[in-house]
Amino acid sequence: MKIAIVGSGYVGLVTGVCLADFGHDVVCIDKDQAKIGALERGEIPIYEPGLAELVKSNVASGRLSFATALATAVPAAEVVFIAVGTPSRRGDGHADLRYVYAVAREVASAVSGFTVVVTKSTVPVGTGDEVAHIIATTNAAADVAVVSNPEFLREGAAIDDFKHPDRIVVGIEDERARAVMSEVYRPLYLNKSPLMFTSRRTAELIKYAANAFLAMKITFINEMADLCEAAGGNVQEVARGMGLDNRIGSKFLHAGPGYGGSCFPKDTMALVKIAQDFGSPMRLVETTVQINDQRKRAMSRKVIAACGGDVRGKTIGVLGLTFKPNTDDMREAPSIDIIQGLLDKGARVVAYDPHGMEAAKELIETVEYVSSSYAVAEDADVLVLITEWNEFRSLDLDRLRAAMKSPVLVDLRNVYSFEEASKHGFTYFSVGRPVGAGGTLGLTQAAE
């Protein structure tokens, strides 16, 4: 099939590359000439494991190409995916749909023959209706079926998620689109991936519902971690005991400094606003957003408590900046609020991240960025592990301790154990674990 992807950011690029790898003829379109030029040279604008190799092989095969103008690819396309950003709108938290609507107008003017226009971007319920209206009013002769096909990709594992999805949700209002979308995803039939057809509005709601539920699950276990610290329980064992229940499952039950990234923060806020607009407020999601925002800053107080209550003039070494491992994405990363909280109290912060430092430099200028975990430890009063990159899981603790001014480790991802850290001479603090397991400084103590 001939497919055009409008928007070559994270979602658009991964979608385009994977569809090309399935054998489709794909053109990825973006108005950013520098980005398209880089992609044509084989330079990938984001870090995603395996993506560079897939781009190279599919460009070489002739199945994947790049363009800066819709008119070069859309007329020949059987399917056009809209994969532009829908960030939170400044001032009110609603999803900003101006890019989606602008693309819809351009697509309407360029389509030729029957075309399925697919909204891949995360959009509020009813957006597909508006896209269909825009296309119809822009070009009354356009023969188009507008479809909702939300993405469920995890950064750091996006290619595997695309090729081995739990489900593929397709929202349609025109039955002609069913056969077309079935053909788009036909290569996945071998993996027995469930292709779920539903109404367009239902598909739009499924994406927000899924992300909000996962965000609530993270927030719940973080609040359980606080209770564990206060009551002397172990949140990791609580999570395991919960996760063994098949009705609950073990994923997203890892206590930490709060969720971040490009999806959960903006999607939970957008769902709150959508629900309010429909007069059906979602109190659980509203509270989830508030708790998560507060938690990030609370983690800086935890670090300050580990330093004896005062970090002025002290050197804090930070391991990990991105919101999760295997990505260079700094959007809404907990590290931003944690570091800012430490800087506000007069600390000197030195940081290292395997792939996130260039993005971090644009957000936190007053941090000193170094080239390795061991450089972070040099003369540090405390080390704070914020992002659980694999290379942080087997650090030479003796070498770290020798480089530090004082051997204090605050592990906000529970990567290490109290026994292992203390064996190497560290005073160790973690999240949601009792005295003797690194949980001696809970949020209650940290706030005092």
pLDDT tens sequence across 265-318: 999 999 999 999 999 999 999 999 999 999 999 999 999 999 999 999 999 999
263 is known as an active-site residue: yes
Domains annotated for the chain, with CATH where assigned, are 2-198 (3.40.50.720), 222-447 (3.40.50.720)
Which band of pLDDT confidence, cut at 50, 70 and 90, is reported for residue 436?
low
Catalytic residue among 18, 28, 263, 307: 263
301 contacts: CB under 8 Å, gap ≥ 6: 341, 443, 446, 447
Residue 254's nearest CA partner among 158, 387, 427, 154 is 387
pLDDT tens sequence across 92-123: 889 999 999 999 999 999 999 999 999 999 99
pLDDT tens sequence across 385-401: 999 999 999 999 999 99
% the chain with pLDDT above 70: 97
Spell out where 184-307 has E strands.
195-198
Report yes or no: 285 and 275 within 8 Å, Cβ to Cβ. Answer: yes
Residue 2, classed as helix, strand or coil, is strand
* The dihedral formed by the CA atoms of 354, 355, 358 and 359, expressed in degrees to the nearest 10: -120
Which band of pLDDT confidence, cut at 50, 70 and 90, is reported for residue 405?
very high
DSSP 8-state symbol, 230: H
133 contacts: CB under 8 Å, gap ≥ 6: none
pLDDT of residue 442: 42
